[in-house]
Amino acid sequence: MDVLVLNCGSSSVKFAVIDPVSSQEEVSGIAQRLGAPEASLDWKRHGKKDTRPTPRAGHEEALRAIGNLLNELGLTDELIGVGHRVVHGGSKFSGSMAITPEVIAMVEECIPLGPLHNPPNLVGIRVAQELFPGLPQVGVFDTAFHQTMPPVAYTYPVPHEWLEAHSVRRYGFHGTSHRFVAKQALHLTGLSPEKHRLVTAHLGNGCSCAAVRDGKSVDTTMGLTPLEGVMMGTRSGSVDPAIIDHVAKALGKPEREILDALNKKSGLLGVSGLSNDMRTIEDAAARGHERARLAFDIFCYVLAKSLAALVVPLGHLDALVFTGGIGENSVAVRARTVEHLGFLGLTIDPHANATHGRSQNGRITEEIRPQALVVPTNEELMIAQDTAEIARRR
Ligand code: AMP
């Protein structure tokens, strides 16, 4: 009883075959550098890594190569469904959905909102339907978890026609991760599933935070696109939008290029001039690299301000959850961020933080209420569980 999970990004396809009940991963991998001569399919099975060149393979060829690999590994007979990560579901999806022609049409309608991600997501759906015609296919949307936000949280203070005519509003992303870690945090802390107030911080290359009240997202930092909110690896997060016009004029470049720089050349990379990788930033800062130190300082400062702001819709904090590559691994980011948030009643426990809270159910603060904790995310497992659930109902 396995589920194939597909995550078709703009230049890669990640995949995994997972047992949704035992959480056991049969195989996982990535087809990367798509379109380039050095494109390859890399995978891991039972702890052993393997790779095969797929020169110039695009999304479609990569998906077929994944299909062939699963056949060779004898993993297709056990499949009960295929779960697709879909990035932008606009306001159309508030939960995971069995893929139907109507659902495909709605994902197509959301292309203007997710121009880089929705088209490859749709290729993944089309090719998987062809490769596995008898299997249910399920769409799991990054935006869906945040559809419970009230208008006061999702409406931008801009001309209202922009919302009505062009769907300009906050959608939020990383919903699958926020939902997964919020659920896990309840098990770890013993908080009631009916009554809890959590702030979740997904800190990876992309970073977003969410306020979760009684299982529902009530606010989040990312917006119409994943550019808004906290500082990230290469994304600026929230900045004064007038910067775009100002810098475009100053450099004599089109505004689109400046927007591109806010997405790809800003954040940790932009400030440090060194790297978008938090490990490199921390190492360089420790060696006295001034701009790496500034990048680290801004990252934690902006993060703490955003986390504190998310307590407003909750009115009270039970737990702050750290997840994602940085949230799960960076002792320094967690320590500094929690230090900024001392006024909420959080005090870091240095020993527990150094061991990522492993010996005390993820908890890294001295206090139990409220507490900060580390919860490893597993978006693939969440997608596999949703897919299995929907496949069972059919
Ligand atoms: P993700 O997108 O979730 O894979 O996270 C990627 C980010 O996690 C990168 O910025 C990495 O530098 C960061 N990361 C991974 N391991 C560590 C670590 N041990 N310390 C600090 N940052 C880390």
pLDDT tens, position by position, 299-350 = 999 999 999 999 999 999 999 999 999 999 999 999 999 999 999 999 999 9
For the chain, what percent of residues have pLDDT higher than 90? 98
Closest residue to atom 19 of ligand 1, CA basis: 329
The predicted structure's pLDDT at residue 285? 98
Rounded CA separation 360/337 (Å): 20
Residue 27 pLDDT level (bands cut at 50, 70, 90): very high
pLDDT in tens, 104-163: 999 999 999 998 899 999 999 999 999 999 999 999 999 999 999 999 999 999 999 999
Domain 193-374 has CATH 2.60.40.10: no
Closest protein CA for atom 15 of ligand 1: 325
Strand partners for 363: 373
* pLDDT tier for residue 289 given thresholds of 50, 70 and 90: very high
Q: Which class would CATH give 2-141? A: alpha beta
Banded model confidence at residue 212, pLDDT cuts 50, 70, 90: very high
Please state, in angstroms and as integers, the Cα–Cα distance from residue 177 to each residue in 89, 166, 234, 379, following that order. 16, 27, 20, 5
Can you tell me the mean pLDDT for 177-206? Answer: 97
Distance 227 CA to ligand 1 centre (A): 19
pTM for the predicted model, two decimal places? 0.96
Catalytic residue status for 214? no
Taking the CA atoms of the chain, what radius of gyration do you get in angstroms? 21
pLDDT at 10: 86
Assess whether the region 2-141 and the region 193-374 belong to the same CATH fold.
yes
Distance 375 CA to ligand 1 centre (A): 14
Q: Where are the domains of the chain?
A: 2-141, 193-374
Query: Please, what is the average pLDDT of the chain?
Result: 97
Catalytic residue (choose from 142, 219, 318, 386): 142
Banded pLDDT at 394 (limits 50, 70, 90):
confident
Distance (angstroms) between ligand 1 centre and the Cα of 205 equals 7
